[in-house]
Copies of this chain bind each other. A is one copy, B any other.
Amino acid sequence: MNNKNTQAHELLKEHRESIDRLDAILIYTLGERFKQTQMVGKLKAEYSLPPADPAREEIQIARLGKLAEDANLNPEFAEKFLKFIIKEVIQNHNKHQS
């Protein structure tokens, strides 16, 4: 039982190391994504385009739903995730336009 517990903790440690590496990918990718949306925000402000774009959002949600299925990720979570990110992006755009 003690051996089994040690083994479990070693497995847990290995999974957590993978999770930490994946989190680094996520953070850096988000950094790049916000850089891109910041540039979009500046363009929109310069050309007085509205910060939100519901048509584009619908296309993104449909596309991510498909990608999520391929990646074995719950599509409902993928949609929640995209909306979470877009909310932040729009807040940042509003800051630029005000």
Cα of A58 to Cα of B85 in the assembled complex, Å: 23
Cα of A18 to Cα of B32 in the assembled complex, Å: 9
Contact check: which of B5, B15, B43, B77 meets A36 at CB < 8 Å? B15
Cα of A37 to Cα of B26 in the assembled complex, Å: 15
Q: By the criterion CB–CB under 8 Å, are B88 and A31 in contact?
A: no
Contact check: which of B24, B29, B77 meets A88 at CB < 8 Å? B77
Size band of the A side of the interface? 35 or more
Q: By the criterion CB–CB under 8 Å, are B26 and A30 in contact?
A: yes
- Hey, which bits of chain A sit against chain B, CB under 8 A? 5, 8, 11-12, 15-16, 18-20, 22-37, 39-40, 43-44, 46-47, 56, 60, 63-64, 67-68, 71-74, 77-78, 81-82, 84, 88
